[in-house]
Amino acid sequence: MSEGKKTEESRNGAEGELKRFREQMNAFFVGKSEIVENVLCCFLAGGHVLLEDVPGVGKTTLARSFAASMGLSFGRIQFTPDTMPGDVTGISVYNMKSGEFEHRPGAVMKNIVLADELNRTSPKTQSALLEAMAESQVTVDGKIYPLPQPFMVIATQNPISFTGTYPLPEAQLDRFMMRLSVGYPSAEEEIRMTRAHAEGKAAEKPEAVLKEADVLRLKEAVTGVHISEGMYSYMQQIIEVTRNDGAFALGASPRALIHLMLASRAKAYLAGRDFVKPDDVKETALCVLPHRLALTTEARLEKKEARAILNSLIPKVRIPME
């Protein structure tokens, strides 16, 4: 069989797998196909997601359904003020029989980890996730333990209630590839969801439509998406404009540029293309960059929003001619 035919068959197989995944996710997470697509994009790009929204809009359902549909292990950490770093990373326990210390894994030792209400725990415990998110490993008593692959953190926080919370520092926010808002469903979708609960259908659990090997193959395929020199330049110019605009006291970091590149590549792959185009960059920039940008005091007093400012700046960036 020729190499071209193998590639075509592989692409067709991947499209079928992604179609089944999307259909099941849209059935269990009603009316939020755009959110599902962004989380999938982030996952294939090797990033982590921060879901910032009010309680009861389905953030936990999204994380559980995502892991189940992918056929991956799922762990949940319910963060509270007394949650300790060891609850996240695990601890060393002395074994009386062997006379040695053994590692008792923490909740982070799963493929998909839901860090629920991350801003309700102390900065020390929040920082326990930094190494896991950046390096896919945890260190306990000087010993390194690799995390299962693939690995993604889906963190949540409530933007309304600030009582008893610890705002995420810039270093922590910068580890998240995307910050997304789920939002309320439409009236029709909300009725459909309520009817499903009344009929007992909401208790059904999603089945695995993918296997771990399929997921790893999809992630590997994303790395083959081509990025031209012009697109690299275009991404960097968008990053640069956030550093020079007077509304921002803090522009996007070099890590933000890397995340923008990875997410744009995954976005192109999900669109069925093997190359990145400007639209991929523009769409992902609005999910990847705003939470990394700090507004000036004047901009905050004028009640400006980072996303809105960024949305007005991107069209001013010249698209390089290929």
Mean pLDDT of 132-155: 90
Q: If you classify domain 3-218 with CATH, what class do you get?
A: alpha beta
Find which of 24-38, 148-162, 306-320 is predicted with most confidence, using mean pLDDT.
306-320
The Cβ of residue 74 has, within 10 Å, a number of other Cβ atoms equal to: 17
Which has more pLDDT, 129 or 153? 153
Residues of the chain with CATH 1.10.8.80: 225-316
User: In whole numbers, what is the pLDDT of the chain averaged over residues?
Assistant: 87
Average pLDDT over residues 291-318: 93
Q: Tokens in use for 176?
A: 């998240």
Cα-based angle 71, 75, 81 (whole degrees, multiple of 5): 160
Superfamily for domain range 225-316: Magnesium chelatase subunit I, C-Terminal domain (1.10.8.80)
Share of the chain above pLDDT 70, in %: 92
For CATH 3.40.50.300, the residue range(s) in the chain are 3-218
Q: How high is the pLDDT of residue 266?
A: 97
Nearest to 263 by CA among 244, 283, 240: 283
What confidence category does residue 163 fall into, taking pLDDT thresholds of 50, 70 and 90? low
Please indicate whether residue 61 or residue 237 has the higher confidence score (pLDDT).
Answer: 237
Query: How confident is the model at residue 223, as a pLDDT?
Result: 95
Return all residues near 208 (Cβ < 8 A) that are at least 6 apart.
Answer: 68, 69, 70, 71
pTM above 0.85, yes or no: yes
Q: What is the pLDDT of residue 4?
A: 44
Q: What pLDDT digit, counting tens, does each position of 182-205 carry?
A: 877 778 878 877 887 787 666 567
35 contacts: CB under 8 Å, gap ≥ 6: 29, 62, 180, 182, 183
Task: Provide DSSP, 148-173.
Answer: PSS-EEEEEE-SS--TT--PPPHHHH
